Structure 1
Amino acid sequence: MKKRTSILLSALAVLLILLFLFSKTFIVNVFSGRVHFPEERIGRNLAMEDGKKFVVFRRLHISGTTGKADDYTVFKVRFQFKSFGPSINKRLSMIPAPFLIGMKGFREKYWTIDETSGFFQGIYQWESKALAEKYISSFIFMLMTSRSAEGTLSYEILPGRDLSKYIEERSSTSTSAHGLMRYHATAVVCPGVGPREILDR
């Protein structure tokens, strides 16, 4: 029954995404050649702040400079799927891509997985903190929440961060200079799943 529900939700997601395919942002990004799926950094091992290790298995990048670099924000979301295995969920995780391409302020996403625990992690670049926060209320994020195992989904917002630099920092096995700096990050466990906390790192 759970698998059937998940399949129906995925099918519904595809149908809804088709409605967004003709949005202005999507059309501009696709037909101007700004949409890329770079191979660089695929297979890269990332050591996260909490000691967990993830491997990059897909990237989506929107080229072209818009917004102010100082406003760029890194957004991370992590969760376990409540149904299907990692191999199937890797393929299903492609579903949000057309939707992301049509979203204002989206610049890049890394899909990553911890093969040991089965946790998936998405790492995004948004043009601003406000746009990253807006993504949390989007249909595609709510779909992600509905497909996650109870109590496993959490996200973190890192304002003023460049994603490429962040990935390089997390790829390094040595302590980076940035690791000694203090910055503000908002870490949140989704409502109904757990407590909310503000971290000052």
Structure 2
Amino acid sequence: MDHEAGTGEQRALPPGAAWRSVAACILSSFVLLGRGRVHLPAGRLGMRLTFADGTSARVYRETCLGSGLAKDPCTLVVCFRLRRVRGRAHALFRRESLLNTPLFVGFPGFTSKLWLADDELGRYRGVYEWDGPERAEHYARSLWRVLALVSEHGSIGYAVLPRLRRDDVIAGPGPAGDRGAGRDAGAWWLPAGGM
């Protein structure tokens, strides 16, 4: 994978550190939810994002904290394939996934997330704007422990794209240059535009 784009060697945080981070996030999330700081904008629902590997997926939810804009922006893309979820079970997962909101909105640096339905290969993606690439990396490595409980082995991955706003990444040419140069099977993380 492309190390410059933040997709180099990837691994979960050690279990103790990851689960402490997740627990702190859940506590913070309930405070944020209770104060009405978490929003579910509808403007991008149904938008289809294509990726440089030739796959595409539809946005089925967006979650924002406050304005949804970061001071030190970076884009984070997370990918996984659920274990033993087929057919109609995908629709159930998409409905149920709202309950997973406390697992991310309380992490330091979270600003917004596009939830993408499963693509042609059965992979789910989250496309985030995060405040600070180090914070995004910490979240992705903590989340790995949670995803490992429900995901196919070897299907979890993430990419951190520093200094790039999420909406700029999904709207036009990004860090890899010309996206019209053909499919790149390793570029599951690189949005090639929205429709």
**Which structure: larger Rg?**
1
Tell me, yes or no, if the aligned pair for 2:39 and 2:66 is still in contact at 8 Å. Answer: yes
The farther-off stretch of 98-107 and 110-119 is 110-119
Select which of 157, 162, 172 maps to 1:159: 162
Are 1:43 and 2:46 matched, yes or no?
yes
**Aligned position for 1:86:** 90
Select which of 49, 57, 62 maps to 1:59: 62
Q: TM-score, normalised by structure 1?
A: 0.66
Equivalent residue pairs, number: 158
Select which of 76, 96, 99 maps to 2:100: 96
**Aligned position for 1:180:** 177
- SS where residue 158 of structure 2 aligns? strand
Amino acid of the residue matched to residue 163 of structure 1? R
Are 1:73 and 2:88 matched, yes or no?
no
- 1:21, distance to aligned residue in structure 2 (A): 4.8
Tell me, yes or no, if the aligned pair for 1:26 and 1:103 is still in contact at 8 Å. Answer: no
Instruction: Give the Cα–Cα distance (whole angstroms) in 2 for the partners of residues 116 and 50 of structure 1.
Output: 11
- 1:147, distance to aligned residue in structure 2 (A): 1.1
Q: TM-score, normalised by structure 2?
A: 0.68
CA distance change for structure 1 residues 47 and 33 in 2, over 3 Å: closer, same or farther? Answer: same
The runs of 5 or more residues in structure 1 that have no matched partner are 1-16, 170-175, 182-188, 190-201
RMSD: 3.1
Deviation per CA, 1:119-166, whole angstroms, max 9, x where unpaired?
Answer: 11111111001101111332x431112211122222111111101222
Instruction: Give the Cα–Cα distance (whole angstroms) in 2 for the partners of residues 66 and 179 of structure 1.
Output: 23
Higher relative contact order (CA 8 A, sep 6+): 2
- SS where residue 117 of structure 2 aligns? strand
**Aligned position for 2:33:** 30
- 1:103, distance to aligned residue in structure 2 (A): 1.6
The runs of 5 or more residues in structure 2 that have no matched partner are 1-21, 179-185, 187-195
CA distance change for structure 1 residues 67 and 152 in 2, over 3 Å: closer, same or farther? Answer: closer
**Aligned position for 2:120:** 116
Instruction: Give the Cα–Cα distance (whole angstroms) in 1 for the partners of residues 56 and 70 of structure 2.
Output: 31
- 1:117, distance to aligned residue in structure 2 (A): 2.4
Instruction: Give the Cα–Cα distance (whole angstroms) in 2 for the partners of residues 48 and 30 of structure 1.
Output: 32
